Amino acid sequence: MTNLRIFTIGGLLSYRALFNWIHPAQYIPTMLLGPLFQILFFTYLGRFAGAESDSFFVIGNAIQICAMSAVFGMALTVGGERWTQTLSSLLATPANRAALFLGRALPNIANGVMISVFGFVVGWLLLDFDPPASAVPSLAALIVLTTASCSAFGLLVGALGIRFRDVFMIANPAYFLMLLFCGVNVPLDRLPGWMATVGSCLPLTHGIAAAREVAAGASLGSVDSLIVKEALVGTVYFAVAYGLLKFFEIESRRRATLETM
Amino acid sequence: MSAQRIGRLVWVGWVFRLKEMSRSGLFVFTSIIEPLIFATLTYYLFTAGSKPGTVLYSALGAGMMGIWSTTLFASGGAIQWQRWQGTLELLVAAPPPFLLVVFPLTLGSATIGIYSLTATLLWERLLYGLPFDPVHPLLFAISVPSLILGLGTLGLVIASGFVLYRNANALSNMLEFPVWLVTGVIVPLSLLPGWASKIGWVLSPTWGFRAVRNSVFGGPVWPSIGMCLGLSLVYVFVAGYFTGIFERRARERATLSLT
């Protein structure tokens, strides 16, 4: 029961406390308009390059923008506590760490899904992206899966934020490297082999590939291997992130570096 | 204030800002690593396309995109960090006009963007072994500082908003991609809807980017430099006007130190 309370109420409270972007004056420009312009920019860049269709760029970027919440949000669950000097108080509690951090992931996943859905809607309204109505439920399911998987990666970034002073030094490159490695804007088969291999080990990659096939008319069942891979990647990242959180917490206590700014 | 004292203030502030930013890991990332990621991305995108661009076009475009990113985040941040550190009130209360205190900060931020251009041109040279051989080398050397000045003064306008609005950093988060679009830094303006490309006309980076690009690939450079510098002058007056208003309102509302 206590763990459930930490998971739900704790997660919600921490989200309200740590993120100033929940205010509309911050949320709309940061979480909606910024990603919208990202979609427009890459679609127009793609048109100029004569590479792929609008649909390719809308799907890639509309899913990737979930990382705004999934990566930056999760990174800030640790970085924000450090910034407000509450990280040591938090880690001094006997709270179950899995409930603590998974509870913090949930609002970020919900937010990431909202951002992605917004991206798809504006892509449909403003660009040449018109998936069949029958594909919408499958696309929605893929958005949820990919955002959850990306949040696990974000938790790993957050874990590294315990060890390193500035979590944005990790979150920023992670966000932009996803644009390059995950097949968001360049098909994986057009990247050098090593980049495609790195991409296949990252979240988003398989989810985006599956979403493109579904939007082209494929059923969810026909992309099950991609779905399994995306889920597997997310699970592995969560396991590694959880292990690192425990390890860095012990190390930071030993070295008294939890509040180092 | 005498011209000599103004010059000294701008110089000292500019040098201080350069030193400060060169030690910030986040800005080293924004100005070097991020443009390299974009240079690589656009290169592969062009090669994947039916209309491949050159490596140099990708490198130059990504470098100039990096200059804007650095200017955008650092210009707004210049005010926001002072606010967080509790020094904004001191700067506003200092005897020189506040505009003159902020200008070297935004100019320094834009200058750091040179790292972006250097990084992407080195990327082109080292990875692809291609020489950087601009059509008009002298004009290239003139157009880059013009672009920096144009961005620095645009940064001044952005920074003036941060004096009054604590949430203005949300604008920084939003403006990176749209300005890349409407200034035609890498996507030609002719591809955009007519109304969108017209927005770019009143933005100095549009002309600064065009000047740099034409100096490298050929084309008229001086008209673009002239437009860039002319708009920079306009921005100084606009920023001066708004800074005066915002500064007074912030004093009246006592919001300068609120984070």
Both tokens of residue A190?
Answer: 């057009």
- Cα distance between residue B212 and residue B117, in whole Å: 11
3-state secondary structure chain A: CHHHHHHHHHHHHHHHHHCHHHCHHHHHHHHHHHHHHHHHHHHHHHHHHCCCCHHHHHHHHHHHCCHHHHCHHHHHHHHHHHHCCCHHHHHHCCCCHHHHHHHHHHHHHHHHHHHHHHHHHHHHHHCCCCCCHHHHHHHHHHHHHHHHHHHHHHHHHHHHHHHCCCCHHHHHHHHHHHHHHCCCCCCHHHCCHHHHHHHHCCCCHHHHHHHHHHHCCCCCHHHHHHHHHHHHHHHHHHHHHHHHHHHHHHHHHHHCCCCCC
What pLDDT score does A23 carry? 79
- Cα distance between residue B211 and residue A230, in whole Å: 45
Both tokens of residue A180?
Answer: 């390059």
What rounded mean pLDDT belongs to chain A? 87
pTM, whole model, 2 decimals?
0.90
Average pLDDT over residues A78-84: 76
Task: Provide, rounded to the nearest whole percent, the portion of chain A with pLDDT above 90.
Answer: 50
Answer whether B41 sits within 8 Å of A180, measured CB to CB: yes
Average pLDDT over residues B138-163: 87
Which range has highest mean pLDDT (A144-153, B130-139, B249-258)? A144-153
- Please indicate whether residue B109 or residue B15 has the higher confidence score (pLDDT): B15
Provide, as residue numbers in chain B, all residues whose Cβ is less than 8 Å from the Cβ of A199: none
Closest-CA residue of chain B to A27: B170
Provide, as residue numbers in chain A, all residues whose Cβ is less than 8 Å from the Cβ of B178: 37, 40-41
Provide, as residue numbers in chain A, all residues whose Cβ is less than 8 Å from the Cβ of B28: none
Q: Residues with Cβ < 8 Å from A232, sequence gap 6 or more?
A: none
CA A114 to chain centroid: 12
What pLDDT score does A126 carry? 94
What pLDDT score does B230 carry? 95
- Cα distance between residue B220 and residue B216, in whole Å: 11
- Please indicate whether residue B168 or residue A158 has the higher confidence score (pLDDT): A158
What pLDDT score does B174 carry? 85
- Cα distance between residue A247 and residue B183, in whole Å: 47
Average pLDDT over residues B113-134: 85
Cβ burial of B216 (10 Å; 0-12, 13-18, 19+) is: buried
Question: Testing the interface with A: which of B45, B128, B162, B197 to mutate, by most A Cβ within 10 A?
Answer: B45
pLDDT band with cut points at 50, 70 and 90 for residue B206: very high
pLDDT band with cut points at 50, 70 and 90 for residue A260: low
Q: Are B203 and B182 in contact (CB under 8 A)?
A: yes
Average pLDDT over residues B98-120: 86
> Nearest CA to CA, how far is A67 from chain B (Å)?
14
Residue whose token pair is 């990919």: A146
Provide, as residue numbers in chain A, all residues whose Cβ is less than 8 Å from the Cβ of B46: 49, 51
What pLDDT score does A20 carry? 66
Rg from Cα positions in chain B: 19
Q: Are A196 and A188 in contact (CB under 8 A)?
A: yes
SS3 B68: helix
- Cα distance between residue A162 and residue A239, in whole Å: 17
- From the list B44, B180, B191, the residue facing A186 with the nearest CB is B44
pLDDT digits (tens, 9 = 90+) for B167-180: 777 777 788 899 99
- From the list B48, B191, B192, the residue facing A190 with the nearest CB is B48
pLDDT at A195 over 90: yes
Closest-CA residue of chain A to B27: A169
Comparing C-alpha atoms, which of B162, B171, B75 is closest to residue A28? B171
Both tokens of residue A75?
Answer: 């990174």
- Cα distance between residue B109 and residue B244, in whole Å: 22
- Cα distance between residue B11 and residue B104, in whole Å: 7
Comparing C-alpha atoms, which of B44, B105, B117 is closest to residue B73? B105
Provide, as residue numbers in chain A, all residues whose Cβ is less than 8 Å from the Cβ of B26: 166, 168-169, 172
Stretch among A55-64, A170-179, B72-81 having the lowest mean pLDDT:
B72-81
Both tokens of residue A227?
Answer: 């779905």
Answer whether A47 sits within 8 Å of B178, measured CB to CB: no
Answer whether B170 sits within 8 Å of A26, measured CB to CB: yes
Q: Are A129 and A46 in contact (CB under 8 A)?
A: no
What pLDDT score does A261 carry? 58
- From the list B44, B50, B188, the residue facing A50 with the nearest CB is B50
Q: Are A112 and A70 in contact (CB under 8 A)?
A: yes
Residues of A with CB under 8 A from a CB of B: 20-21, 23, 25-26, 28-30, 33-34, 37-38, 40-41, 44-52, 166, 168-169, 172-173, 176-177, 179-180, 185-187, 190-191
Average pLDDT over residues A110-131: 94
pLDDT band with cut points at 50, 70 and 90 for residue A76: confident
- From the list A34, A51, A180, the residue facing B49 with the nearest CB is A51
Answer whether A30 sits within 8 Å of B25, measured CB to CB: no
What pLDDT score does A213 carry? 94
Q: Please state, as a whole number, how many other Cβ atoms lie within 10 Å of the Cβ of residue A50.
A: 14
Comparing C-alpha atoms, which of A80, A91, A214 is closest to residue A154? A80
Q: Are A51 and B48 in contact (CB under 8 A)?
A: yes
Answer whether A49 sits within 8 Å of B170, measured CB to CB: no
- From the list A20, A33, A50, the residue facing B174 with the nearest CB is A33
